[in-house]
Chains A and B, each alone.
Chain A
Amino acid sequence: MRYNRSFSARLTSAILFNTSILFLAAITVVSFFSHRLIGEEAQNSAANALRSTKLDIEQTLREVEVATGELQWVILEHRDDTAMMYHITRELLESRPNIVGSAIAFRSEYHAGKHFFSPYSYRKSQSDEILSKQLGTPQYDYFQMEWYTAPMKSGKPHWSEPYFDEGGGEQLMTTYSVPLKDEKGETFAILTADINLEWLSEKILATKPYTNSYTILIGKSGHYISHQDPKKILNDNLFSEAKRSDNKNLAGLAHKMVAQETGVEKFRLNGDIVFAVYGPVGDAWSAAIISPYKDVFAPMMRMNLIIILVAAFGLFFLFAACVRTIRKLTQPITEFSVVALNMAKGNFKARLPEVKTQDEIRKLHDSFEYMQKSITSYITELKSTTIQNERFESELNIARKIQMGMVPQDFPERPDCHLSALLRPAREVGGDLYDFVFRGDFLYFAVGDVSGKGVPAALFMAMTRSAFRFLAARETPPDNLTALINQAISDGNENNMFVTLFIGKINLKTRHFEYCNAGHNPIIIISSDGTSEFLHAKSNIAAGIISGFNYQAEEMDLAPHSRLLIYTDGVTEAEDNSKAQFGDERLLDFTRAITPDEKPQEIVNQLYTKIKEFTGDAVQNDDITIFSIELDS
Chain B
Amino acid sequence: MKVTINQEGNKYSVTLEGRVDTTNADQFQKDVAVLMEASQPDIEIDCSAMEYTSSQGLRIFLQLQKNVTAHQGNLVLTRMQPHVKEVFDITGFSNIIKIM
Instruction: Mark A residues whose CB is within 8 Å of B.
Output: 426, 449-453, 495-498, 500, 518-522, 539-542, 545-546, 569, 573, 579, 621-622
B66 to A: closest C-beta gap in Å: 6
Q: Are A519 and B22 neighbours in the complex by a CB distance under 8 Å? A: no
CB-defined A-B contacts under 8 Å, sample of 9: A451-B59, A453-B22, A519-B90, A519-B91, A519-B92, A542-B93, A621-B21, A622-B22, A622-B54
Q: A521-B90, A542-B93, A621-B21 are in contact. Are A452 and B62 (CB under 8 A)?
A: no
- Any A CB within 8 A of the CB of B40: no
Q: Quick check: B90 and A522 within 8 Å, CB to CB?
A: yes
- Chain A residue numbers with a CB within 8 Å of B21 are 621
> Knowing A452-B56, A496-B66 touch, does A542 contact B22 (C-beta < 8 A)?
no
Give 8 A-B pairs besides A453-B56, A540-B92, A541-B93 with Cβ atoms closer than 8 angstroms: A450-B55, A451-B55, A496-B66, A521-B90, A541-B95, A542-B91, A621-B21, A621-B54
Question: Is B63 close to A, CB under 8 A?
Answer: yes
Closest to B23 in A: A621
7 shortest interchain CB distances as A-B pairs:
A541-B92, A519-B91, A451-B55, A519-B92, A451-B59, A496-B63, A542-B91
- Contact indicator per residue, chain B 37-66, by CB within 8 Å of chain A (1) or not (0): 000000000000000101110110011001
Closest-by-CB residue of A relative to B67 is A496
User: Max chain A CB contacts within 10 Å: which of B25, B63, B91, B93?
Assistant: B91
A74–B4 Cα gap in the complex (Å)? Answer: 142
Taken together as a complex, chains A and B put the C-alpha atoms of A453 and B23 apart, in Å, by: 11
Chain A residues touching B, majority SS: loop
Q: Which residue of B lies closest to A457 (CB)?
A: B55
A625 to chain B, nearest CB (A): 13
B residues near A (Cβ < 8 Å) are 19, 21-22, 25, 52, 54-56, 58-59, 62-63, 66, 89-96
* Residues A569 and B55 in contact, CB atoms below 8 Å apart: yes
Most A CB within 10 A of own CB, among B52, B90, B93: B90
CB neighbours of B89 from chain A (8 A):
539
Identify which of A451, A452, A539 contacts B90 (C-beta below 8 A): A539
Shortest CB–CB separation between residue A501 and chain B, in angstroms?
Answer: 10
Are B95 and A451 in contact (CB-based, < 8 A)? no
CA distance A495 to B63 in the complex (A): 8
B59 near A496: Cβ-Cβ < 8 Å: yes
A599 CA to B97 CA, complexed, in Å = 41
Q: Which of A451, A453, A622 has the most CB of B within 10 A?
A: A451
CA A495 to CA B96, docked complex, whole Å: 17
Distance in angstroms between the alpha carbons of A452 and B90 in the assembled complex: 17
Q: How far is the CA of A496 from the CA of B92 in the complex (A)?
A: 15
Check if A500 sits within 8 Å of B91, measured CB to CB: yes
A497-B59 contact in complex given A453-B22, A545-B96, A621-B22, C-beta closer than 8 Å: yes
Give the docked Cα–Cα distance between A579 and B21 (Å).
11
CA distance A495 to B25 in the complex (A): 14
* A450 CA to B19 CA, complexed, in Å: 19
Residues of B within 8 A of A542 (CB): 58, 91-93
Q: List, in ascending order, chain A residues with CB within 8 A of B19's CB.
A: 579
Residues of A within 8 Å of B94, CB to CB, are 539
Among A500, A542, A546: residue with most chain B CB under 10 A: A542
Of A452, A495, A545, A569, chain B has the most CB atoms within 10 Å of the CB of A545
- A545 cross-chain contacts in B, Cβ below 8 A: 62, 92, 96
Q: How far is the CA of A615 from the CA of B89 in the complex (A)?
A: 26
Give the distance in Å from the alpha carbon of A396 to the alpha carbon of B58 in the complex. Answer: 26
- The contact of B96 among A451, A522, A546, A621, by CB within 8 Å, is A546
Question: How long is the Cα–Cα vector from A546 to B56 in the complex, in angstroms?
Answer: 17
* A519 B59 Cβ-Cβ under 8 A: no
- Chain A, residue nearest B86 (CB): A584
What is the bound-complex CA distance between A518 and B62, given in angstroms?
A: 15
Question: A451–B56 contact, CB under 8 A?
Answer: yes
Cα–Cα, bound, A518→B91 (Å): 7
* Cβ–Cβ < 8 Å partners of B25 in chain A: 452
Complex Cα–Cα for A496 and B60 (A): 8
What's the nearest-Cβ distance from chain A to residue B37, in Å?
16
Q: Chain B: which residue is nearest A568 at the CB level?
A: B55
- Distance in Å from the Cβ of A133 to the closest Cβ of chain B? 147
Tell me whether A518 and B55 are in contact (CB under 8 A).
Answer: no
CB-nearest residue of chain A relative to B87? A569
A169 nearest CB across to chain B (Å): 133
- Cβ contacts under 8 Å, B54 to chain A: 573, 621-622
A452 and B66 alpha carbons, distance in the complex (Å): 18
Q: Which residues of B contact A452 (CB under 8 A)?
A: 25, 55-56, 59
Inter-subunit contact B92/A518 (CB<8 Å): yes
**A497 vs B25: C-alpha distance when bound (angstroms):** 14
Residues of B within 8 A of A621 (CB): 21-22, 54
Across-interface contacts of A450 in B (CB, < 8 A): 55
A496 and B62 contact, CB distance less than 8 A: yes
Knowing A573-B54, A622-B22, A622-B54 are in contact, say whether A539-B59 is a contact too (CB < 8 A). Answer: no
Which one of A450, A452, A540 has the highest number of Cβ atoms from chain B below 10 Å of its Cβ? Answer: A452
A540 to B95, CA, bound (A): 8
Question: In the complex, which residue of chain B has the Cβ closest to the Cβ of A542?
Answer: B91
Which one of B22, B25, B52, B96 has the greatest number of beta carbons of chain A within 10 Å? B22
